[in-house]
Structure 1
Amino acid sequence: MKPVEQQTLFLSVQELIENAKRNVIRNVNSVLVTTYFQIGRMIVEDEQEGAAHAQYGVQTIKKLSSHLTMHFGRGYSVDNLENMRAFYLAYSKSETVSRIFENSNSNYETPSRNLSEVLKLSWSHYVSLLKIKNADERRFYELEAEKGNWSLRELQRQVNSSYYERLALSRDKDGVRKLAQEGQLLEKPTDILKSPVILEFLDLKEDNRYSENDLETAIINKLEHFMLELGKGFLFEGRQRRISLDGDHFWIDLVFYNRLLNCFLLIDLKIGRLTHQDIGQMQMYVNYYDRKIKKADERPTIGIVLCKEDNKAVVEFTLPLNNEQIFSKEYKLYFPSKEELKKQLL
């Protein structure tokens, strides 16, 4: 066998084993989650038959924890059993899960296979999601974690950065409701907008002096994180893209392409307060790309001025009322207060 053929064989066998390992982990996780859901169901149904529900439930969970720990070791603490109980109470109310139990008999094992098709995340993901009290918000993060294959760390970052509230700020009531039902869908330019954009992963401090070049370099160094913050479907096209007009040269800080929206997205970075000159410059960039770069079957170019401090009045009176291409967005180098964002939603 030739060395090239050997290498092909080795890589094929390696890929097969790695896929098998992933499937094992996925299957183990699925069994664990559905088992914990069933345990939660048993605890709740047992409580309902008790005389004094609250006290009865507390004592039962303590005794059950001791019993299971003695037989199976770690993993069945009182806190974890409480999480299983809360897990069942939160997710049994969903329409899909309710239908599974309606179509099953009283045997607890019967719906497990169907449950695994609905409860797709890891137990750690669900424990984290249970901390979110708002059912719509929790469902949104569940959908996004499933579709984006988020790690637990990425899920926690998105929750901490108020991803749901920041998207909801740019939508009407129907749009907010749709977030909870379907997650983030990119159908029009405004679907990608968040207020503000959170760049805590750049490790730039608010009280330090930094230039626009420092900001751009930090973004390039953490490009994967930045693209996750932008949203879905983004491809990096380049930095400092030059535009030449009658001997004058201009540079666009960052250029992306979004394969879901089928359009270019231009980003200009500003470390100060937004000015009308910033908007005008972006308008020129967008016009150039629309007339010289984009193809006939592509959607109009989107331009975003990412600034330290927005100026809504300047945006309102610089751009036309029907503007759907140019936007200004603040960035923050720290997680905002969820309470402040929620107040803006009211």
Structure 2
Amino acid sequence: MTKELDNNNYAALIQTLKTEISQARIRAHLSVNKEMISLYWRIGSQILERQDNEGWGTKVIESISNDLRKEFPEMKGLSARNLVYMQTFAREFTDFEFTQQTAALIPWFHTCTILDKISDPKQRIWYIQKTIENGWSRNVLSIQIQSNLYARDGKSINNFKSTLPAAQSDLAQSIIKDPYNLEFLDIQGKIHERELEGKLIDHIRKFLLELGQGFAFIGNQYHIELEGEDYYLDLLF
């Protein structure tokens, strides 16, 4: 005779399976991200090597981009602009092992943001590690850099233990989906974009002052319909 289903045990099983599936998805996407980051580093390194050895100028980047996109038309990320980022990435992070073990744990555009906004090597590594530790999205990362979190909270970098981003973190979602100074929010540690949105609304008067004259706040998660599709604007001014 079949035993009756224990609802509590069943719910616990479903939760366990959901966690297993979510973590497996993240590991799979991290593996893909690691390969892409490694490829970008190797491309950047080879361009740098040719420039050093053969005196190539910057115009050759455009030619490389055009030839690669002809060969791989379906592949994104081969624009001249992105090739320059690869070149900068390889030049600034010379340790390939570091790129595989740490830098490859964040999406590429997170890395581009760090390369754009930070020049100090120690700070770059610190922000990468903090991004992984706290699961920051690129928007939150940008705000932390703009508010100079390193100066307010920075400590000497110790032995960093890489951990798999939590399935619900913005960083994990960024990996799966692959400029105003908001210093007055004083955001530190773990935060999701929806929490950030809430803090902006809580500080809406100060935020409007940051934007300047002529702005009005309409609402958050504002619904619009475009060609039959539903869209929700985080914040509408």
Corresponding residue for 2:31?
A: 27
Q: Is the 8 A contact 2:43 2:86 kept in 1?
A: yes
1:134 aligns with 2:120: yes
Looking at structure 2, the residues matched to 207 and 155 of structure 1 have their Cα atoms a distance apart, in angstroms, of: 18
Instruction: Select the structure with the greater relative contact order (CA < 8 A; seq sep ≥ 6).
Output: 2
Deviation at 1:3, TM superposition (A): 4.9
TM-score w.r.t. length of structure 1: 0.42
Corresponding residue for 1:262?
A: none
Aligned length in residues: 164
**SS of residue matched to 2:53:** coil
Corresponding residue for 2:101?
A: 117
Asked which structure has the greater CA Rg, the reply is 1
Q: Which amino acid aligns with 1:83?
A: Y
Large movers: runs of 4+ above 6 Å: none
Looking at structure 2, the residues matched to 163 and 207 of structure 1 have their Cα atoms a distance apart, in angstroms, of: 19
Specify which of 20, 35, 42 is matched with residue 38 of structure 1.
Answer: 42
Q: Which has the higher helix share?
A: 2
1:189-227 deviation line (CA, Å, top 9, x unaligned): xxxxxxxx732733242499xxxxxxxxxxxxxxxxxxx
Corresponding residue for 1:49?
A: 53
TM-score w.r.t. length of structure 2: 0.60
Q: Is the 8 A contact 1:139 1:180 kept in 2?
A: no
Corresponding residue for 1:80?
A: 82
Q: Is the 8 A contact 2:93 2:99 kept in 1?
A: no
Distance 1:141 1:153, change over 3 A: same
Deviation at 1:79, TM superposition (A): 0.3
Deviation at 1:87, TM superposition (A): 0.3
Looking at structure 2, the residues matched to 76 and 135 of structure 1 have their Cα atoms a distance apart, in angstroms, of: 26
Q: Is the 8 A contact 2:37 2:99 kept in 1?
A: no
Looking at structure 2, the residues matched to 207 and 115 of structure 1 have their Cα atoms a distance apart, in angstroms, of: 37
Q: Which amino acid aligns with 1:80?
A: N
Corresponding residue for 2:20?
A: 16
Corresponding residue for 1:276?
A: none
Deviation at 1:165, TM superposition (A): 2.9
Q: Is the 8 A contact 2:51 2:57 kept in 1?
A: yes
Q: % of aligned pairs identical? A: 21
Looking at structure 2, the residues matched to 18 and 121 of structure 1 have their Cα atoms a distance apart, in angstroms, of: 17
Distance 1:15 1:141, change over 3 A: closer
Deviation at 1:115, TM superposition (A): 4.3
Q: Which amino acid aligns with 1:69?
A: R
1:302-336 deviation line (CA, Å, top 9, x unaligned): xxxxxxxxxxxxxxxxxxxxxxxxxxxxxxxxxxx
Distance 1:13 1:135, change over 3 A: closer
Distance 1:207 1:38, change over 3 A: closer
